[in-house]
Amino acid sequence: MTNQVTEDLMALIVREMKIDPASINATTPLFEGGLELDSFAVVDLVSRIENRFGFQLADADFRPENFADIQTLGGVVARYISAKT
């Protein structure tokens, strides 16, 4: 499930954040050396993820290690999806 969620997450980032699909992959960092997101962009991204996947990220999950790269964030999202079913 995590791989599909990561693919869906990459598609969401490409579409909503106007990112060139050729410039990202699952291991692309969200911050330095990757997408270079700032705090406002992260809040926007989380809001879009919550709306797309139908859950609200808990405050405890707002840890730097959960936002290391797209694949890691995809794992967090997959955990929430699994908990819903």
- Considering its fold, how many domains does the chain have in total? 1
Task: Name the residue range of residue 43's domain.
Answer: 2-84
Total Cβ atoms within 10 A of residue 77:
25
What distance lies between CA 37 and its chain's CA centroid?
11
- Closest among 39, 42, 54, 33 to 13, alpha carbons compared: 42
pLDDT tens figures, 36-67:
999 999 999 999 999 999 999 999 999 999 99
Could you tell me the pLDDT band of residue 1, with boundaries at 50, 70 and 90? confident
User: How far, in Å, CA of 24 to CA of 1, rounded?
Assistant: 20
**Contact partners, residue 56, CB within 8 Å, separation at least 6:** 50
* pLDDT above 90 for 2: no
CATH of the domain at 57: 1.10.1200.10
Tokens of 21: 């699909």
